[in-house]
């Protein structure tokens, strides 16, 4: 195992989008977004909405999210008026074209959405009601910072339709928590796992982060054990990306020791094995869900879908994101909104505050589908791709197939006339394998940077 880890000691993208955000261009404006929306409305396919609340009370030093620390409620209220304006723009646009969106899921993420007061949350949900009745959704997911509220308050959110909460935990180790400036004892997190809180929820997710300073295999083993003992419906285990050149707050972590690449991979492998032994199903790259969870069922039924925020059961393949810096994906387009500092100004100048965008070419669409199949199903049915895109797979991907040979030799994939299949060992290297189909990365292998 270690030999293979050393051999593939380079980082690969997680493909939250293909092509990745850095390839999107500034040529896309509000008018392009409106045209793309028109096409989407003509198709009348289900839509998921994401709403971004960017504020937090306190900075976690590992933070890589688009967030701002504030204790100024006037700033939050002013922001909520802005996001309310953006929601109204969608409402007016849909109304003008007599379009009623079919919405199955919504999510409020951040930042720390649970930092909103009752009044602020109600204001936001009242605006959301212009687009959809939250009580009629299949899923209304809400991110909760266990430090910002007590479990009683979950009842308030539930009364507005919230039926899934994600708890940011990251690590239960007190030394790691202190180092990253996120102190939340296990006893605090436990208060959210009561029958009362669980009642009426589809599930509780726990988010963990490995690769943080002071973590070791031994310390993280305890975090994994504690997480399993709480029995959340889903566990997301992400790798910490140390990019202090971009994220100023991470510079404060440089004084600590970090687990190296080999240790990080061992941490992930041991966590993966522990979650599977505990009955969780490994979905996609980083998600572990109970066997009766709709994501596990979608994995079996081959309807699993990759979205920006993770994986979805595939009810809606079009994502419209509202709020600063948020990213939409629909109908062969990607769009990103401007960041918080420009949000108010852009809303006063244009209908939709678009910063960047990308229109996928036929080649991008083929490669995105191949990469998503590897991420979601861990299997490419060659014939299906050939029929759908009218290509001869082995000819089209001649160079890429050549690059897969080392994965075949290392038993990470099986390659036949009909299928490319990721093996059990290969599950550790899904991003690496997928990256061979990435036209923006081909011939480049990124060495792991930082600790």
Pairing between β-strand 10-11 and β-strand 310-312 as defined by DSSP bridges: unpaired
Residue 112 sits in the site that holds ligand SF4 (CB under 6 A): yes
Residue 323 sits in the site that holds ligand SF4 (CB under 6 A): no
Rg of the chain taking only CA atoms, in angstroms: 22
Among 11, 17, 48, 67, binds ligand SF4 (CB under 6 A): 67
d(CA 356, CA 344): 17
d(CA 234, CA 3): 31
- Least CB distance to ligand SF4 at residue 100 (A): 33
| Region 157-186 residues binding ligand SF4, contact defined as CB under 6 A | 168
d(CA 15, CA 115): 29
- Least CB distance to ligand SF4 at residue 97 (A): 35
Residue 145 sits in the site that holds ligand SF4 (CB under 6 A): yes
- Range in contact with ligand SF4 (rule: CB under 6 A) among 55-63, 92-100, 235-243, 361-369: 55-63
Residue 213 sits in the site that holds ligand SF4 (CB under 6 A): no
- Least CB distance to ligand SF4 at residue 245 (A): 18
Among 5, 37, 47, 60, binds ligand SF4 (CB under 6 A): 60
Residue 153 sits in the site that holds ligand SF4 (CB under 6 A): no
Residue 252 sits in the site that holds ligand SF4 (CB under 6 A): no
Measured from the CB atom, is 151 or 170 closer to ligand SF4?
170
d(CA 353, CA 343): 7
- Range in contact with ligand SF4 (rule: CB under 6 A) among 61-69, 98-106, 155-163, 397-405: 61-69
Residue 236 sits in the site that holds ligand SF4 (CB under 6 A): no
- Whether the CB-CB separation of 337 and 323 falls below 8 Å is answered with yes
- Whether the CB-CB separation of 198 and 156 falls below 8 Å is answered with no
Among 10, 20, 34, 59, binds ligand SF4 (CB under 6 A): 59
- Least CB distance to ligand SF4 at residue 59 (A): 5
| Region 373-432 residues binding ligand SF4, contact defined as CB under 6 A | none
- Whether the CB-CB separation of 200 and 158 falls below 8 Å is answered with yes
- Range in contact with ligand SF4 (rule: CB under 6 A) among 104-112, 122-130, 299-307, 354-362: 104-112
Residue 40 sits in the site that holds ligand SF4 (CB under 6 A): no
Q: Which residues here bind ligand SF4, judged by CB under 6 A?
A: 56, 59-60, 63, 65, 67, 110-112, 145, 168
């Amino acid at each position: 195992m270690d030999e293979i880890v050393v051999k593939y000691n380079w980082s690969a993208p997680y493909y939250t989008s293909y092509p990745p955000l850095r390839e999107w261009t500034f040529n896309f404006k509000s008018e392009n977004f409106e045209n793309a929306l028109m096409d989407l409305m003509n198709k009348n396919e289900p839509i998921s909405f994401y709403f971004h609340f960017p504020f937090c009370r306190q900075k976690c030093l590992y933070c890589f999210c688009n967030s701002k620390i504030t204790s100024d409620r006037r700033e939050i209220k002013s922001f909520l008026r802005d996001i309310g304006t953006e929601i109204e723009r969608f409402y007016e646009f849909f109304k003008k074209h007599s379009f009623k969106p079919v919405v199955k899921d919504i999510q409020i993420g951040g930042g720390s959405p649970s930092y909103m007061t009752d009044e602020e949350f109600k204001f936001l949900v009242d605006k959301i009601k212009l687009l959809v009745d939250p009580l009629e959704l299949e899923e209304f997911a809400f991110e909760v910072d266990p430090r910002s509220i007590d479990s009683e308050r979950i009842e308030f959110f539930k009364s507005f339709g919230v039926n899934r909460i994600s708890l940011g935990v990251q690590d239960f180790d007190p030394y790691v928590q202190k180092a990253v400036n996120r102190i939340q004892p296990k006893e605090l997190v436990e208060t959210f796992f009561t029958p009362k809180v669980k009642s009426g929820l589809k599930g509780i997710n726990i988010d963990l982060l490995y690769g943080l300073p002071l973590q070791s295999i031994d310390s993280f083993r305890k975090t994994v054990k504690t997480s399993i003992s709480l029995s959340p419906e889903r566990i997301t285990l992400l790798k910490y990306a140390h990019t202090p050149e971009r994220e100023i707050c991470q510079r404060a972590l440089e004084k600590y020791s970090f687990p190296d690449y080999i240790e990080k991979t061992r941490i992930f492998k041991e966590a993966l094995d522990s979650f599977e032994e505990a009955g969780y199903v490994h979905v996609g790259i980083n998600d572990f869900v109970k066997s009766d969870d709709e994501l596990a069922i979608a994995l079996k039924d081959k309807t699993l879908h990759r979205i920006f925020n993770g994986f979805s059961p595939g009810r809606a393949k079009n994502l419209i994101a509202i709020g600063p810096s948020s990213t939409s994906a629909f109908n062969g387009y990607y769009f990103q909104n401007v960041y918080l500092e420009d949000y108010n100004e852009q809303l006063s100048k244009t209908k939709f505050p678009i910063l960047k965008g990308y229109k996928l070419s036929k080649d991008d669409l083929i490669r995105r589908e191949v990469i998503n199949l590897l991420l979601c199903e861990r299997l490419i049915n060659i014939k299906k791709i050939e029929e759908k895109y009218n290509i001869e797979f082995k000819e089209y991907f001649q160079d890429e197939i050549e690059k897969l040979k080392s994965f075949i030799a290392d038993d990470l994939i099986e390659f036949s006339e009909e299928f490319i299949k990721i093996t059990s060992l290969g599950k550790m290297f899904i991003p690496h394998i997928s990256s061979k189909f990435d036209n923006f990365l081909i011939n480049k292998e990124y060495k792991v940077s930082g600790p």
